[in-house]
Amino acid sequence: MDVERLGRRADVPVPAKEFLERRHELRPALGVEAVVVAPDLGAVRLADRYARLLGCPVATVHKLRIGPAAVQVREIVGEVRGRSPVVVDDMMSTGHTVAAAVRGLLAAGCRPEVTVVVSHGLFVGPIEQVLQDLPIGRIVTTDSVPPRADLPLPVAVASLAPLLGDAIRRLDRHESLGDLVVHR
């Protein structure tokens, strides 16, 4: 099954479906003053979709990558002062982009209550050192890549098994995958 093709057909990447289905449960936990944040320009469309689905404003971090492990925040567009950020991205590998975004958001006056939502949590290298001093309350990801067992970060993992099982069943029955994804 071509999961990437299925993801491209969706308004929201497929791994985010479970998170979004639970948005009514998660929305109160985010607080009234939440803001969805794209940590770079590549995540703007994703952040906009999450913001619409969660009923939150959106902000964007303009970053400059100055090396493999060095990211500089140039500007934050959108109001984050006094808000709890929900940083959304398709993937987190080393954590440097998220770390730079969170530091920039803190400098801009956001609340020190950060939630990170990523479709694929690779968690490579010394990511715990990169993120250790940041007020990240939880990282929500999927089991598309099993998280490291030794990871001392607050990671919540949503299983893709029900989604993949449903997709396989539909393909076997020659049914549409169109309503399997979230369109809003």
Catalytic residues: 63
Token readout for 75 is 């500007």
Q: Which residues contact 115 (CB under 8 A, 6 or more apart)?
A: 30, 84, 85, 86, 87, 136, 137, 138, 139, 140
Distances (CA, A) of 39 to 63, 64, 153: 8, 11, 19
Q: Which amino acid is at 71?
A: V
Q: Which amino acid is at 161?
A: A
Q: Which residues contact 30 (CB under 8 A, 6 or more apart)?
A: 54, 56, 84, 86, 115
Bridge partners of 114, per DSSP, are 136
Q: Which residue has the tokens 């906009």?
A: 48
DSSP label of 126: S
